[in-house]
Amino acid sequence: MEAKTHIVLVSIPVLSHQVSLLEFAKQLIHLYKNSFHVTCIIPTISNSPSIASKPFFDTLPSSIQCIFLPPINFDDLKNEVLLESQVQISVFKSMPYVFETLRSISTNSNLVALIVDGFAHEAHKFAKELSILSYTYFPGSAMVLSMCLYFSKLDKIITCEYKDHPTPIEIPGCISLHGRDLPDSVQDRSNLAYNLFHHRSQQLHQADGIIINSFHELESETFDAISQNGPYGPNVYPVGPIIQTRRNIKNQACESVLWLDNQPPNSVIYISFGSGGTHSQDQINELALGLELSKYKFLWVNWRQPNDKASASYLSNDEVDPLHFLPLGFLERTKGQGFVMCGWAPQVEVLKHDAIGAFLTHCGWNSILESIVHGVSMIAWPLFAEQRSNAELMTNGLRIAMRPKYDSKGIVVKEEVVNVIKGVMESEEIGRRMKELQKFANCAMMEDGSSMKTFSMLALKWKSLGKSM
């Protein structure tokens, strides 16, 4: 039997990035059965996989192998640097293990390409040493990619702090963004995160190409601008929307879908801030009371206990029951109106359910793509990282979402919660635009669709290299 062509992925210790990269691998395996074997090398900070991620890893096909590297201990940094810096440092410290694993794989398999997360750019040099192709996998939007490619120039043009810039900032092929809506990493020039972001953006030039989880029809002007003005041009490969595929529903996860089965069509707002997002106690109170006052049905996935830092729980494994922090009597008063659950939820199954009318989301790119694929309008409530940029794209660019306003204390009060819920649930225009994008998303992944053609081009190139070895 002909040896399978081997592809190695290098991810980072962030579940959303791991899921996106591995879903890309699953698509490759599905389309080209018996042709590819994929190994994913994953640096870790704590023991992995976590309880939240275990169901996903347990259902990977046998042609995909995951290797979790020894945990990196840097507890002394956790309260001193931004999340992005923590991730970057942990990956950098894992590079000796990455190279050792990669070299071992290359001596025993038909290895042709290395695909690395943008936070793991140091691994590109290993591909050059092994004389194989290397690609950056970009799990975010083309808008954020354009921002990264343009950042060196932007850094010279704007000399003040971005959040203090008096006018919206122009990024090639994108809507203008206020400085405060740029990623957290660039908000403080004196912070380590700023230098790491700048360096990471420059390293995009190292790879043979950038594989991005978006699709041309979603961000056509941005892709055109990158192609015309960026250093990569045709070497940017849109292959999205790649979203999480169906998983087995067990235990409490099944309860949420069963609850939805008993609700009228388009009547429920789904609330989830991802597996790592957190709110202050005051914000949780206002959100809960706003849901109650809205009178709309709701399904609220509440992962974490309160914290004033939005990303505080992203790398933590706390087991405190977040339901204890809801307003007194809230669960009893909303018993017939809503369903609140803790822990993992089958988000794809939830979003595709007929009962769902809107999605209140933290604007992680995976969640945005899942919402678009299933035609669900959004309330954009960003928390950290590049989520504010994504929220602006959804609200002012694509106009498929509403974004709540904060009061002088940085809180979305209950009346504003009611306002955005009512606005999105009752907006025919937002719903119409979302349904149009849903059609484009589905077409992109058809056999003759734009993303599938790009996907096939890459796969056939890798297969031909494998045969020549």
Answer whether residue 327 is part of any domain.
yes
175 & 295 share domain: no
221 & 256 share domain: no
Distance CA(203)–CA(467), nearest Å, equals 30
Which run of H or of E encompasses 147?
Answer: helix 142-157
Provide the pairing of β-strand 378-380 with 356-361.
parallel
pLDDT at 249: 47
Answer whether residue 49 is part of any domain.
yes
Lowest mean pLDDT among 58-62, 403-407, 417-421: 58-62
Distance CA(258)–CA(252), nearest Å, equals 10
Distance CA(17)–CA(7), nearest Å, equals 17
In the predicted model, what is the mean pLDDT of the chain?
90
What dihedral do alpha carbons 371, 373, 377, 382 form, nearest 10°?
30
384 & 457 share domain: no
428 & 460 share domain: no
- Select from 365, 361, 348 the least CA-distant residue to 215: 365
Distance CA(75)–CA(66), nearest Å, equals 25
For CA atoms 9, 12, 17, 18, give the dihedral sign: positive
Asked whether the predicted pLDDT for residue 84 surpasses 60, the reply is yes
pLDDT at 224: 93
In tens, the pLDDT along 352-384 reads: 999 999 999 999 999 999 999 999 999 999 999
Q: Which residue has the higher pLDDT, 274 or 117?
A: 117
Would you call 116 helix, strand, or coil by DSSP?
Answer: strand
- Return all residues near 5 (Cβ < 8 A) that are at least 6 apart: 35, 36, 37, 110, 112, 462, 463, 465, 466, 467
178 & 38 share domain: yes
Answer whether residue 246 is part of any domain.
no
Answer whether residue 363 is part of any domain.
yes
214 & 281 share domain: no
Distance CA(193)–CA(251), nearest Å, equals 40
pLDDT at 441: 98
Three-state SS string across 239-277, please?
CCCCCCCCCCCCHHHHHHHHHHHCCCCCCEEEEECCCCC
Distance CA(210)–CA(73), nearest Å, equals 30
Distance CA(64)–CA(109), nearest Å, equals 14
User: If pLDDT is split at 50, 70 and 90, which confidence band does 251 have?
Assistant: very low
Distance CA(443)–CA(394), nearest Å, equals 20
Answer whether residue 284 is part of any domain.
yes
Cα dist from 467 to 6, 36, 243, 355, whole Å: 11, 12, 30, 49
What mean pLDDT is predicted for residues 266-271? Answer: 98
Answer whether residue 245 is part of any domain.
no
DSSP state letter for 448: T
Asked whether the predicted pLDDT for residue 48 surpasses 90, the reply is no
pLDDT at 344: 74
pLDDT at 312: 46
162 & 198 share domain: yes
Answer whether residue 108 is part of any domain.
yes
- Select from 118, 116, 114 the least CA-distant residue to 105: 114
Asked whether the predicted pLDDT for residue 56 surpasses 90, the reply is no
Distance CA(201)–CA(219), nearest Å, equals 20
Asked whether the predicted pLDDT for residue 46 surpasses 80, the reply is no
421 & 275 share domain: yes
**Which tokens sit at 387?**
């989520």
Percentage, residues of the chain above pLDDT 70: 89
Residue 129, CB-side half-sphere exposure with 13 Å CA sphere? 11
Residue 172: how many other CB atoms lie within 10 Å: 18
Would you call 198 helix, strand, or coil by DSSP?
Answer: helix
Distance CA(147)–CA(179), nearest Å, equals 12
User: If pLDDT is split at 50, 70 and 90, which confidence band does 131 have?
Assistant: very high
pLDDT at 81: 63
Distance CA(456)–CA(448), nearest Å, equals 10
Q: What is the CATH number of the domain that holds 427?
A: 3.40.50.2000
53 & 191 share domain: yes
Cite the active site residues. 17, 117
The boundaries of the domain holding residue 68 are: 5-239+447-468
215 & 268 share domain: no
Tell me how many domains the chain contains.
2
77 & 167 share domain: yes
Provide the pairing of β-strand 64-71 with 5-10.
unpaired
Question: Would you say 66 and 10 are in contact if contact means Cβ atoms under 8 Å apart?
Answer: no
347 & 286 share domain: yes
Residue 127, CB-side half-sphere exposure with 13 Å CA sphere? 24
Answer whether residue 356 is part of any domain.
yes
Question: Would you say 466 and 112 are in contact if contact means Cβ atoms under 8 Å apart?
Answer: yes
pTM of the model: 0.93
